[in-house]
Amino acid sequence: MTRHLFHAALAAGLAAVGWVAAGSVAGQPLTLAITLLIAAFFGAGALELHRFRQATATLAAAVADEQPPARLDDWLARLHPALRQPVRLRIEGERVGLPGPALTPFLAGLLVLLGMLGTFLGMVVTLDGTGQALQGATDLASIRASLSAPVKGLGLAFGTSVAGVAASAMLGLMAALCRRDRLLAVQRLDLRIATSLHGFSQAWRRDESFRLLQQQAQAMPALVDQLQQMVAAMAQQQQAMHERLAGSQERFHHQAEA
């Protein structure tokens, strides 16, 4: 559904800009130039959002696989290069945000400003032409004839505002849809981090180290008992050796005296 809405918004934005550009081809070169500039910036924003959606698709495909990976690097290799390091930090426990579109928010506002700029320039040119036409008019018929062309040109001048606002609105809608897809993918990622990817987090490593320390602490009394038993056995062996040595010396002395 989101993909269809994205394509529909893209088509609507291109249609609005194309309609204004088609109406400006006849006799409004300035309006046509501004409209083509709006189309170029709209295309740049759409291209950035397309790449953003591709990166989100790699993340969504990776988190859809519920099998725990053997190595984190192998799992991260499935992601877009721009997402690997932020996702790694997020898995390790750092609450970092994933990168978003950099130019699209700026372009959405720029499109409206370009539309207004085209309208103001068109109004200036139209009013200037109107003044010159009125200066050369002598009767009512000639005045009406001289005003018809500037009024039509004024209507076309407002078309740049239509193109700018429509392109900005569609670009904003496309950006909102892309951010929604990214938010859903990040929510699934957080769920995976709490389950199958928990073994790669710093918290799990700290817990595992603490558990090993607890096991070592629990094993220490038994180890001390074993050491005490070993020391006691060595003391008994030493005592037995001392007694045997003393008995041997005593027998030697008796034999020497005999």
What's the confidence (pLDDT) of residue 11?
92
Residues 78, 8 contacting (CB under 8 angstroms): no
Measured CA to CA, the distance from residue 121 to residue 24 in angstroms comes to 14
| Per-residue pLDDT reduced to its tens digit, 39-82 | 999 999 999 999 999 999 999 988 887 777 778 888 888 888 88
Of 54 and 252, the structure prediction assigns the larger pLDDT to 54
Q: Give the C-alpha distances (Å, rounded to integers) separating 183 from 180, 188, 226.
A: 5, 9, 57
Backbone torsion region of residue 218, taken as left when φ is above 0, otherwise alpha when ψ lies between -120 and 50, otherwise beta: alpha
149, pLDDT greater than 60 = no
- Quote the pTM value: 0.71
